[in-house]
Amino acid sequence: MDKLLIEGGARLAGEIDASGAKNAALPILCATLLSADAVTLHNLPQLQDVRTTQRLLRELGAEVQAEDPTAVTVQARDLVTHTAPYELVKTMRASILVLGPLLARLGEARVSLPGGCAIGARPVDIHLEGLRAMGADIRVEGGFIHARASKLQGTRFVMDTVTVTGTENLMMAATLAEGTTLLENAACEPEIGDLATCLNAMGARISGAGTSTIRIEGVERLHGAEHRILPDRIEIGTFLVAAAMTRGSVTVRQTGSGLLDAVLRKLQQAGARIHCEADSIQLDMAGRRPVSVDVHTAPFPGFPTDMQAQFMALDCIADGVATISENVFENRFMHALELQRLGADIRIEGHMAVVRGREQLEGAPVMATDLRASAGLVLAGLVADRQTLVDRIYHLDRGYERLEEKFRALGAYVQRVTHIPQEAA
């Protein structure tokens, strides 16, 4: 199994390009099921989760053709089954995103329950309630969600909790419903706006995506379209935090704008000089040690839970004491135990962590527990003394494109290894 070997100490400097957003690519790939015509997507990130979603689309009968490494055309003309099998769904929770499109297009969908995952229970009750409100008959049997509706009906649905994939599933289903659907207390993440842009290009009639009330007027059918996936704000944020931690100066290109204001504000509080252009973000620490920053995760436009582990890593070596509160997921501090193995001073109390910054962390072997937790460990490794070996990096490969290559382009020593050098084992 691959591991990442990191030699700490390099001050990051240089320029890299952001990739397309994983969390936009996955729902948009699933949205192609809504039309019999060809949909071409550009700026797709090359990630394990994207490959898994393409496999799922093929299983369902769609033709998926790679135009080049970052572009694919999907044509779901003749779907052969309405069942998303457990073997695929269990490896990626986002597979639940085929539920709304399959039901709307075929009138029936069987999707394996995604189950729990390392960062919390993550139920899908709101997805199901919303589809029921649109007239679907839904049963959960034998580990599968079985949904049926000859024709979904537009409705007004107030979501109990702000859920990103829940909003996306219901928005997709509503595009082909009869009448108008109003989704209230909807998630406002930029990836939802990107999905709506793609759906509208396919002929859907969606307004308000990116606000907490989304209005979808159902149409008879959707047609083919071409769409470019928006940049990955979590990847961009991760590289900017790495630059801040190593006291470096880094420019990320192809960033879009307005995607990560809450994160940039925190980096400024940590002492970074930030310069934004229309399509790039430059961060410069001018050699200074970052100052501790408190973090309070919340749905967009609040501070993203997907950046919490990276800021915990920053606070581990910052000047001062910081409080981190995780308010989106109930069990998302597993990286704290691994950071402690590197010498970090972290105290956990329920959904709060108190992090006392240290001058220096010590390299050690550590274990990744989930996607963003692993990013936090890599960042800590970049500033730790000697070598850090991060195990179970298949988590990283689910969400970061060519991570070690991009870090190396900025001057870091990060190697993917299968045989471990003796001193780091």
Is 117 annotated in the active site? Answer: yes
CB of 30 to ligand UD1, least distance (A): 10
Nearer to ligand UD1, 162 or 245 (CB): 162
The residues, any chain, with a CB within 8 Å of residue 31's CB and separated by 6 or more, are 39, 101, 172, 195, 198, 199, 202
Q: With CB under 6 A as the contact rule, which of the stretches 148-156, 161-169, 342-350, 381-389 interacts with ligand UD1?
A: 161-169
Beta strand pairing status for 156-158 and 180-184?
parallel
311 binds ligand UD1 (CB under 6 A): no
CA separation for the pair 143, 137 (Å, rounded): 16
Task: Kindly state the DSSP code that residue 327 receives in the 8-state scheme.
Answer: -
Q: How far apart are CA 212 and CA 44, in angstroms?
A: 27
Region from 30-38, 157-165, 222-230, 407-415 binding ligand UD1, contact rule CB under 6 A:
157-165
**Alpha carbons 418 and 425: distance in angstroms, whole number:** 11
- Cα Rg of the chain (Å, integer): 22
279 versus 330: smaller Cβ distance to ligand UD1: 330
Residues from 14 through 53 that contact ligand UD1 (CB under 6 A): 23, 26
For residues 3 and 93, which CB has a smaller minimum distance to ligand UD1 in the complex? 93
- Which is nearer to ligand UD1, 48 or 163 (by Cβ)? 163
* Cα separations in angstroms, 425 against 4, 91, 343: 12, 28, 18
From candidates 54, 112, 155, 305, binder to ligand UD1 by CB under 6 A: 305
* Residue 231: strand, helix, or coil: strand
Q: Kind and range of the H or E element at 84?
A: strand 83-84
Task: Kindly indicate which of the ranges 125-133, 147-155, 280-288, 385-393 contains the residues binding ligand UD1, using the contact rule CB under 6 A.
Answer: 125-133
How near is the Cβ of 304 to ligand UD1 at its closest, in Å?
Answer: 6
Q: Which of 60, 174, 328, 339 binds ligand UD1 (CB under 6 A)?
A: 328
Nearest Cα to Cα of residue 291 among 336, 247, 348: 247
**Number of residues lying near ligand UD1 (CB under 6 A):** 21
The residue from 144, 157, 239, 329 that contacts ligand UD1 (CB under 6 A) is 329
Contact 192, 210 (CB under 8 A): yes
Per CB under 6 A, residues contacting ligand UD1 are 23, 26, 93-94, 120-127, 161, 163-166, 305-306, 328-329
Instruction: Show which residues are catalytic.
Output: 117
